[in-house]
Structure 1
């Protein structure tokens, strides 16, 4: 497998990245019309951490981390390394030594659609990581691949320079050209949710706030006392 290392791709505006960092993955996905989310199989190795940064993408051969070494050189302050393989792999492609090199370069975290190892060390050093699997299985450095090319994870295309936001709920990708627009949509959504939260605190029900009683009637859902239901009565 031959490949290419693309240098200096365009990135999302740093101000937009920081704005998006203020919102959770769930909010971002909803603000984009329930899109952009990577699948639920990509999970954090730590809890209580959110990162946001620009993607440096890696396409590797299964069980081979050569191209991650090549990608380290292309990483800089505020980046998030995103790795996938040409076919499914759970081998431990990434560990503490990679994290040490990336942390030195200002990288905010890694998202890997394969295996990760040294998870205790990663937590202790404060390097955030999300992965498909945790595996101690080692790898080789024998096959070419690519860096900073479009890749796909769970059917979601990630391009170099896109914004990656990851937290306890998972990972979302925001296309770099839409970063500012999505940040504005998140702000509007948060204001709306704040009003709803206040209404719930005051005792209002979602059935009434969202007008769902009419929906229930339209769907033929009825209310019946326990006694009537237990007696076999049906509306």
Structure 2
């Protein structure tokens, strides 16, 4: 179990005052159908080019946003092995670096607009673990992730457009955090609900997030019951994907 899955698993029952908990069992497909039903047809589906790095990844959370642009400044030649090891520190000392706030609530999803710059592994195995340690349950970038073998091994919850190799200095810089961004062809604002699973990524505008969760829950339960009948007819052993009773129990207090 990944750290992000552990954060979600701690929620025993849905709480109408905890938006993240309303999305716990929902699939991206359920939410996409619910968005269609209220008139958001195809408006908030991120590009299918943005994919989870490993199969079985699933997360929901409210967005915390980062906007990057190409740096248009080269990295200078470094003088020693130690300077090369500390290239990020030297770059940030000269040009600065914007970070997300330290007081973000647990259960957030980091969404990054990469600015269409060159190949750069802004996200990698170490800073992904650091973000999860600060409460992130997912990271979505329309750019690159590197160290992807380690990210997969660690079950780091990263969705990326590309796998990359290079580091930040001389390639990309953060120009804004917690503003409105574009990622995967979709507008994302801090507080919007964002989710990913094997099917891709969807954004739910915060103004309709509770309503969408209600519709999506009904869609999920209807699908579970229909598939349960197929399981029975075909003699297939039951599994958690058709356990409608567990889902009903989780949402019972709403």
> TM (normalized to structure 1)?
0.71
- Taking only aligned residues, the RMSD between alpha carbons, in angstroms, comes to 2.7
What CA distance in whole angstroms lies between the structure 1 residues aligned with 2:201 and 2:46? 6
**Alignment of structure 1 residues 27-46 onto 2, 5 Å:** 27-33=30-36, 34-35=41-42, 36-46=44-54
- Answer yes or no: is the 8 Å Cα contact 1:54–1:78 preserved in 2: yes
Pair 1:172-2:202 in alignment:
yes
Tell me the equivalent position of 1:213.
none
What CA distance in whole angstroms lies between the structure 2 residues aligned with 1:14 and 1:113? 31
Pair 1:58-2:58 in alignment:
no
What CA distance in whole angstroms lies between the structure 1 residues aligned with 2:200 and 2:53? 11
**Alignment of structure 1 residues 68-87 onto 2, 5 Å:** 70-71=99-100, 73=102, 75-87=104-116
- Answer yes or no: is the 8 Å Cα contact 1:62–1:91 preserved in 2: no
- Answer yes or no: is the 8 Å Cα contact 2:180–2:190 preserved in 1: yes
Pair 1:122-2:151 in alignment:
yes
Q: Report which of the two structures shows the higher radius of gyration computed on alpha carbons.
A: 1
> TM (normalized to structure 2)?
0.66
What CA distance in whole angstroms lies between the structure 1 residues aligned with 2:103 and 2:30? 30
Q: 1:145 aligns with which of 175, 195, 200?
A: 175
Instruction: Classify the secondary structure of the residue corresponding to 1:166.
Output: strand
Q: How far has the Cα of 1:57 moved from its partner?
A: 0.5
What CA distance in whole angstroms lies between the structure 1 residues aligned with 2:157 and 2:141? 11
Structure 2 gap ranges (5+) = 1-15, 73-87, 234-254
